[in-house]
Structure formats: C-alpha cells, structure tokens
Amino acid sequence: MPQVRLSKEAERTLQKIIAIWPKIMHQQRKEKILTMLSLLMGARKARTADQALIIEAVKLIVPKSYDPFFHMMENMEKFKRLTLDPFDDMQAYAALPIKVKRWESPRRSHKKATAKKKKVIAFCASPRRGGNTDILIDEALCGARDAGYETEKIMLQKIKLGYCIGCRKCKDKGYEGMCTVKDDMTPLYQKIMDADAVIIGFPIYTGRECAQLSTFMDRWDCFERFKFGAKLQPGRVALVIGTWGYAYDDTYDHIIENIMVILKLHKVETIEALSACGFEGILHGLDEKCRGVIAKFPKELKKAYDAGAALVTGR
C-alpha cells in the first residue's frame, strides 16, 4: 500500500469515506484510494494531502452516484436546500433546478433511410404514464415524426415481459428461433429489426436502471448467436434517455453509459443521449395534476425534440 502523508482533517475524511462500504471491502478500497492519492500528490508536488485532495482521489475511482455523500461533506447547506427541503416545502419543491442535458455528439455522416424503411421505435421503461421519462420520449418522437419518420412507442410496464431464464438455446449452433420464452417480447424482436432507430428511456430509482429496463435488456441477449454471431446487423442508431431525482445532471451518467454499451454489443450505435434531473421532493417529480414537471420547462423539452430529430437526420 502506498505510504502518503495525510493532514489530520484528511485522515478523518478518509476514515469517514471508508466507512461507507462493508468492512470486507475496506482494505481493497483504501489501497485504491491511496494509490490514486499518491499519483495526484506526485502530479501536484504535494507533500501532505488535505481533505480536498482526498475527495478528489476518491471521485476518480468511484461512480458519480457517490456525489451526494461528497456534496454533504462539502456544502451541507446547499445539499439541504436542493435535496432535503423539497420534501417538506412546496416552494422549495417548485424551485428545484429541473434540467435536461443533451450529450455532445461528434459530427457524423448519417445514412438516410430508404423510402420503404423509415421507422423509429421507442421503449419507455417508466411505470408512470405521463411522467417525465414518458414526456421526454414523446418529445423525441415528435422530432422524429416531423423529420418524416414513422414512430411507435411501447410502454414496458403495460406488456407481459418475462425474465431471461438462462436456457442459452439462442446460442446453439443452427438455432433459427428468437427466444424460448413466449410472451409480449416475441413480436418486439421483429419491430426492433425493422426499425432504423431505437429510443430507450428509463428512470433511476435505486442507483441503477429500473427493473423494467433491466428485464427488457436481458431479453435482448438472444440477438447474440452461436460463437458471438449477431442477429442484428450494423446500421441502427439509438437515443438513450435517463431521468432521476437528484439535482445534478451527471450523477447517473455512468448508468446511461452502461445501456449504450449493451446496445453497442448488439451493433446499435447510440448517437444521442439525454440526462434529465431534479425530479424529487413532495410530489416526486410530478405536478399537482400528477403529470411530469418537465412539461413546465419548454426550453428543456426542446432538447428532447432536437435529439429526436437529429437521431434520424444526423443534424
């Protein structure tokens, strides 16, 4: 384990951070933190690490979802205003910074669909119809329709969607079917294959994608065939939309990235992504009429519209 000099405050901070994890993880995490800290101290030519440097080192080795813990340490007053007060006060709830971040995408050449095939299919993994995820998907689909594409939306909560049972039949040599589990997922495979573009939107409730999306993406496994052969061929593009309550628009970007990677494994290239945040508090991201509060933010909604249009036009 690297030997580094810590200030007394830094030592207390390190112990507080280590205590986040189960004891079985303490030694491993401490080694990683001190290794990263040693590298930072070398780069900064620092002889002693202070609290700020400890926090910086930890941030480099843990996901952004740990940010609430650091925000409490760095500015408890701000954390209380943005995270706790909206659960008690409607005025604080109304003041939450609702924000949609459209991920920067590199300029690309985009192959337009043929006249016979101009389809976008969207999958909403939110259990709340008319919630923030659903509204953002609708705006993206509107952008795609205005660009001349046919669109369809599937609410995963409303269909019969079973779990992958791990039979691995889809990996057998010569297997021509799709999935041995017969439910409402069966016709969706063909819809995905017939589409030019896919939109996937989901909320984050427990620090990861919601259960509906997890089950849905597991069922994509049958697109992969014998010896890593592929049922889906390159050419499809995707827009991924993630929503959450915490008032920072990058806290769960690593979860969005995980979905992008799964899509890439199935040869679907994500070219647009949205991170939307601030949906927490007394009404849990809804307004007085139980509709997603994002509907009150037209400038933020336009980002979804623009992403949906760019998904199919490349602009």
The torsion defined by the Cα of 39, 43, 44 and 49, in degrees rounded to 10, comes to 10
CA separation for the pair 141, 163 (Å, rounded): 28
What pLDDT is stored for residue 113 in this prediction? 47
What pLDDT is stored for residue 247 in this prediction? 94
The H or E element containing residue 201 is strand 197-203
Helices (H), the chain: 8-18, 23-44, 51-59, 67-74, 76-79, 90-94, 132-146, 186-194, 211-218, 253-265, 298-313
Cβ–Cβ < 8 Å for 231, 192: no
What pLDDT is stored for residue 71 in this prediction? 92
Residues 6 or more apart whose CB falls under 8 angstroms from that of 74 comprise 55
Residue carrying structure tokens 């990683």: 32
What pLDDT is stored for residue 267 in this prediction? 95
Cβ–Cβ < 8 Å for 272, 103: yes
Q: At what angle do helices 51-59 and 67-74 cross, to 10 degrees?
A: 170
35 C-beta neighbours (distance < 10 Å), count: 15
Q: At what angle do helices 23-44 and 51-59 cross, to 10 degrees?
A: 110
What pLDDT is stored for residue 4 in this prediction? 87
Indicate the residue type of 282.
I
Across-strand partners of 123? 154, 200
What pLDDT is stored for residue 276 in this prediction? 98
Per-residue pLDDT in tens (0 to 9) along the chain, 315 residues: 778 899 999 999 999 999 999 999 999 999 999 999 999 999 999 999 999 999 999 999 999 999 999 999 889 999 999 999 999 999 999 999 999 999 988 766 555 545 455 899 999 999 999 999 999 999 999 999 999 999 999 999 999 999 999 999 999 998 989 999 999 999 999 999 999 999 999 999 999 999 999 999 999 999 999 888 888 999 999 999 999 999 999 999 999 999 999 999 999 999 999 999 999 999 999 999 999 999 999 999 999 999 999 999 987
What pLDDT is stored for residue 73 in this prediction? 87
